[in-house]
Every structure is written in structure tokens, then in C-alpha cells.
Structure 1
Amino acid sequence: MNGPRICGAFAQVPSGLHGDMRAIGNGDLADAVSHLRCRLEAHPPGFHFDLVWQLDDARHGEMWAIWIDGHDADAVFIRPDCPGQGGMSGYGDEACTLFHGHPGKCSYAFADPLSDALIAGLHRRAPGF
């Protein structure tokens, strides 16, 4: 896909942030991720966001981590899912996988070359996938 791409900036969730995550989340913290990759559309240096924990009761939203360039995540927050729908992928109405009020375009409107390469690799290794 030509055009906008995912930011893809990397960070970690420091163990010190787990207390905050337990305090505001629900479910098994073992399901939370510790390696982050910014899911927003490519953007200038600054704040980055990744889904860190899909909560047991998603009606209230999901938990997202936030960090700035060159640092580990330093905060988490719960936001409802973005209501955006689109058909950019060719698979029908694809839902945006970001949070409500996110900056930039919805996730279905930009490419993720790393994810695309991983999926292509799976297709080559697993015929019929």
C-alpha cells in the first residue's frame, strides 16, 4: 500500500508501571504486553501510543500506553475504541484499531510494512493459510 504508514516507534513498559495498570485495569495482567510499537500514523517526534492491555470488559475501552521519543512508557490510560469504519483494505468494512480521539488517520487508512512482511512470510511458509 502506498501512502501513509504506521509510526512504529518502539518502547518498553517498565515494571514500575504495572502498579498503575493493576489499579485502573481489570483482568489478568499477564495478558498485557511489555514491548510497545506506536500504532499511530507516522508523525513528527513527540508522543507515541500502543495498546498495552485488552481489558476483560472492553465496553469501557482498552488500556493504552504513552511515551515520548527515546524513553520507556511512563503512563497508561483507558480510552474507548475509535468508532471509525472504512473499506481501505479490500476486506469490507474494517474497524479502526486505535482509540477514540486519536491523532492522524484511522488505522485502516495507512500501511504497516512490518506487519505486512510478517504476514507475507507466514503465507510463504504455510500453504493454504
Structure 2
Amino acid sequence: MVGILLLTHAPLGKAFIEAVAHVFRGPTERFEAIDVAADQDPAQVHELAREAVARIDDGSGVLVITDIKGGTPSNCCNSLAVPGQVEVIAGISLPMLLRAITYRRDTLDVVVEMALAGAQSGAVRVDNRIRVGPE
């Protein structure tokens, strides 16, 4: 099963873990978050991320999801990426994360594609304007 690591600005990661536990009615295995504080040493963050990747990888690979490309959390995990073993994507959203978790028994490449598809299909305009006349 593909491991999932959230590497985000504090307190997003832990909030996403709680949201996933709410949706799936309990904790999810091989799923962790590292919340990066504003003044945290990037070398320390990188080391924490490296340790987490090793801990949650059962040989199926790890998907690291970060919040903003170019932010400190994202920059700290760039060197962790190893194609086919550790993939990194940015722009976390709940639809992205739920899709990744749902498909994580598949290959890492499939999990990445499904997560990105979840993000794209999950961002929609909600049109609640009053309609007049027949539909």
C-alpha cells in the first residue's frame, strides 16, 4: 500500500489527517503529516520528512503531498523525490487527498494520477443563483 506523507505549513497537515479520519470513520495506516512552523529549520524538516518516508514505505512507494509549490515545506521535500519510489505533488485539497487514499492499493503512478484528477474535479464553481423560469 502506498504511504502518504503530508508536508504542509502548520496546522494544515494535522487538520487534513483529522478530516480524513472523519470521512473514513477512523485512522488511516501509513498516513502521516509534518506541520512546518514558520521559524523551523529547513534541515530539520528535511530530516523529519526523510524519516517519515522510511517509516511509512512498505516497498510500494510514498506520495508526498505539500501545500504550495515553492514554499518551505515543498522545498524541503524536493530532494526526497525518487521517480517510482517517492513522488511529490503540490496543491493539497481534500478531494485530492481522499482520491489518493482511495486508490493507494494501486501503483504509485496510479495514486499520483488519481490524486491529481481528484484535485481537478474537486475544484468547481458552486452556482447557487436563483433561477427563474423552466429548467
More helix by share: 2
Whether TM-score is above 0.5 comes out as no
More strand by share: 1
Q: TM-score, normalised by structure 1?
A: 0.30
Q: TM-score, normalised by structure 2?
A: 0.29
Rg bigger for which structure?
2
